[in-house]
Structure 1
Amino acid sequence: MNVSPSHEDALRLEDFPYRLGDNVRFGDLDPNWHVNNAVFATYFESARVMLMKDPNNDLMPKGLTWIMVRLDIQFRAELRWPGTIEIGLGIAKLGRTSVTFDQVIFAQNTCVASAQAVNVLIDEATRMPTPLPPKLISNFQPWLRRGTAASA
């Protein structure tokens, strides 16, 4: 299943500063014997959660939490079992209350999927969006996608 060419054809894993390796599991397959489309969302989620929840990155301010508001996935090639993948993540944009992630999945040096995800920072008590604190903006800087000048 090859997806028609787009401006994203030049995606390079090295442009994504956060990386996470994973295995393709037999249970990830659908009746067509390739990875089911819904599983790609789980792969992308794993990378975002690992980055955000790692206490060394300090991206989870006390009393605040993140919610997903958008996920757009472009399926670029079939992914089969058995195999391994590498998920790349880079910050594309820092908004007033949100962060936009660009993500890719590579298998055998081929980009099999790309995605853009938007998460909004909310107050845990009020469940309302809250502006990104300056310290949080600073903590996101190491994770900017190469060639991106994200701003808040």
Structure 2
Amino acid sequence: MNAPTHLDSTPQLEDFPYRLTDNVRFADLDPNQHVNNAVYATYFETGRVTLMKDPKHGLVPEGLAWIMVRLDIHFRAELRWPGRIELGLGVAKLGRTSVTFDQVVFSEGKCVASARAATVLIDEATRKPTPLTPDIIEKLQPWLRRGVERR
């Protein structure tokens, strides 16, 4: 279940069904007065965690947890303060124990960064990967990125 687009193509915000807004903070800046590259990982984390940990979505069953195993970021343009950003997220792939997300940061209608993030579902007691449950798979369906087939 792979998205038909590549990370190098210019993403469109409407391809990402889960969205939220955030502010660029003065503390996000580096000495060059643009957002530091490390801060983008925090923006992407905000998008994933806001979706995954919201109890109304039911994506963290009792005794299970999600861990990050990979994050690939494509920096596309400078981002400066002050400003508002739009974060977009879509499920790109469902594996046996993993979920891969495509994510974007938009500012003033322009994609300034995109990422692919892989997370693995683990058993909290054993700390070992555990298969995605049918319930989790079903609850992730509304968040499939445009172009990704339902499973």
* Length-normalised TM-score, structure 1: 0.93
Cα deviation, 1:47-106, whole Å, max 9, x if unaligned, reads 100000111111001100000000000000000000000000000000000000000000
Alignment-mate amino acid for residue 149 of structure 1:
E
Task: Show the counterpart of 1:114.
Answer: 114
CA deviation after TM superposition for structure 1 residue 26, in Å? 0.4
5 Å-filtered alignment, 1:26-105, equals 26-105=26-105
Query: Residues 141 and 7 from structure 1, CA distance in 2 versus in 1: closer, same or farther, beyond 3 angstroms?
Result: closer
Query: Residues 150 and 8 from structure 1, CA distance in 2 versus in 1: closer, same or farther, beyond 3 angstroms?
Result: farther
How many residues end up aligned between the 2 structures?
146
Q: Secondary structure at the match of 1:61?
A: coil
Query: Residues 124 and 139 from structure 1, CA distance in 2 versus in 1: closer, same or farther, beyond 3 angstroms?
Result: same
RMSD: 1.2
CA deviation after TM superposition for structure 1 residue 149, in Å? 1.7
Segments of structure 1 that go 5 or more residues without pairing to the other structure are: 1-5
Alignment-mate amino acid for residue 140 of structure 2:
F
Query: Residues 35 and 145 from structure 1, CA distance in 2 versus in 1: closer, same or farther, beyond 3 angstroms?
Result: same
Query: 1:45 & 1:75 partners in 2: Cα distance?
Result: 16
Task: Show the counterpart of 1:130.
Answer: 130
Segments of structure 2 that go 5 or more residues without pairing to the other structure are: 1-5
* Length-normalised TM-score, structure 2: 0.94
Alignment-mate amino acid for residue 48 of structure 1:
R
